[in-house]
Amino acid sequence: MELEEMQRLWGEMSKDIEQQKIVTDKIILEMTTQKYKHKLNAISIPETIGAVICFAALIYLIFQFDKLDNWYSQLAGILSCVYLIVMPILSLRSIYKMKKINLVAMPHKEALKQYAQNKQEFIQTQKIGFYFGFLFMCMVLIVSTKILSNRDLVDFITTRLIITTVLGFVFFFFFAKWVFKKYKKATHSAERILKELEQETV
């Protein structure tokens, strides 16, 4: 009778310990999910704001497109429109793919593997945006002078404009590098959270 009682108590204790572990793992998972989303918000929020600005600029450019009355300003306008549409969509799409990873339903190793793939896609998108950003700035110069003054860019070429343009390119270079560094840090932090989750729940 004593042996049976001990076995029963041991079974109940084992069950309680197992339930406690399930509860603990669930709490860890919920906290990790919040931390993971918080890290990615450092990317998604500024990129969403940037996308809204791009789409607003796109709408403005479309309504002013009739002012582009020669082939090179029209080409610059079309290339600007393509950039303003494609780059925000690619960026937001890659961020969405990182954020939609389900840490609850998906095995941790699979989540980590999928995140690594999505992170690489996001990094590549940012690199493409960086390089094409210089071309976009050139297009903006052509388009903006035509829309705002109805004159060609060549009519405005002065030493002051050249210096201002060069300084603008330099600023864009260092600013884009700084943003890219911040984004890489945020994506690495999110990846580290996933790795820690895998170790904690083993």
pLDDT in the model for residue 75? 92
Distance CA 103, CA 31 (A): 11
**33 or 167, greater pLDDT:** 167
Identify the top-confidence range among 34-38, 137-141, 148-152, 154-158. 137-141
Are 185 and 123 in contact by the 8 Å Cβ rule? The answer is no
Give the residue from 39, 201, 17, 183 showing the smallest Cα distance to 106.
201
For the chain, the structural domain boundaries read 2-200
Residues in the chain: 202
What confidence tens digit (pLDDT) does each residue in 84-125 have?
999 999 999 998 988 887 776 777 778 778 888 888 888 999
Specify burial of residue 92 (Cβ count, 10 A radius: 0-12, 13-18, 19+). Answer: middle
pLDDT in the model for residue 54? 93
pLDDT in the model for residue 78? 94
Distance CA 176, CA 126 (A): 9
